[in-house]
Amino acid sequence: GMFHGTMQLFPSALISYIRPIVLISLIRTCELFTLAGCSEHLTMASQERGVARFAVAHQQREGGGFLVRRPIGGEIRECDPFLMLDHLGPVEYGPGEAVGAPDHPHRGFETVTYIVEGGMQHKDSAGNSGNLLPGWVQWMTAGSGVVHSEMPSDEVMEKGGRSEGFQLWVNLPKKDKMIPPRYQDTPPDKIPVATSEDGKVSVKVIAGESLGTDAYIETRTPILFVDITLQPGATFVQPVPSTYDGFAYVWRGSGRLGPEDASRSAKLGDVAVLGAGDSFRVTAADNDTLHVLLIAGEPIREPIARHGPFVMNTPEEIQQAFRDYQAGKLGSIAGSEERYAKTAAAKQK
């Protein structure tokens, strides 16, 4: 799924611009790899996780001119079960400038879209559609496959405005890759926010659990996805099961990541892969708030064949996905030409 109203076109979505017939010639470039566990694992008693790897996701201009940082899938190639995290924006669009991701296919994984500002309208080949507004999360399980369109909301298209959001790609285990597609479009009032006793830390619980509060969204494999906001000087320790691999990404403000005696200073764009342990500490700077995504999950540890919008276990399955797409088995959505035209016009701006 590319980005959404609020995400104006994901780089990863660029494949969507390639009309189906051209896709076939690309199969030869299919990547084949096994996701290495990106975190170290714990053998001893309870301990805070350190920072195993640290990287900076630089903002780059992609495709239609949208601004994106890619903390996972870029500098850090992957973190099983996560294939990619894109941070779109923040960007201020003028009237007619917002770009989206018109019709493109997916199979074999999940896309999670989390909107901070702006709005996105999605449609798919199974007849699903909806509008995602600030604070909404869409957890889309592509499974056996859909053709998906993610375009800015009409209001953002016409009037412009500020856009910011995230898209996370979550791999599916072999046994789930061909399940029927499923959407969980979740408004902000359904996403629990837990607050620390001193009121200095609030945690939006998108998946998993924090401060005794369970998420509303269900996941196929065990996943923790929390958006933590810390007031200046506040510190917070989030339990992260020792078997999970994961990372922390600073998307606004500044502070420190990791245990007090071995923390790394971090600001917007910095990503830390979690070391061994069963919890992780985040601390805001004394004079700045800190906004950090903490994302972790049970590694799948299966071979991966990946090409653009398809993530399977073998190259043969990737070729089959292209054949199914060409043959129309993933379906189509009425109005695709208009969406391509709108996107082309916005790019010209």
pLDDT at 75: 84
What does the pLDDT look like over 120-149, one tens digit per residue?
Answer: 999 988 888 889 999 999 999 999 999 988
Q: 58, exposed or middle or buried, with CB in 10 Å at 0-12, 13-18, 19+? A: exposed
pLDDT at 144: 94
pTM of the model: 0.88
Query: Are the C-beta atoms of residues 248 and 292 closer than 8 Å to each other?
Result: yes
pLDDT at 12: 41
- Ranges under pLDDT 50 in the chain: 1-28
Distance CA 128, CA 148 (A): 9
Whole-angstrom CA distances from 116 to 36, 102, 328, 347 are: 31, 21, 34, 23
pLDDT at 7: 35
- Estimate the share of the chain in helix, then strand, then coil, as percent rounded to the nearest 5: 15, 45, 40
The token pair that represents 238 in the structure block: 């989030």
Return the SS3 of 121: strand
Please give the DSSP secondary-structure letter assigned to residue 181.
P
Number of H helices, E strands in the chain: 4, 26
Query: Are the C-beta atoms of residues 87 and 11 closer than 8 Å to each other?
Result: no
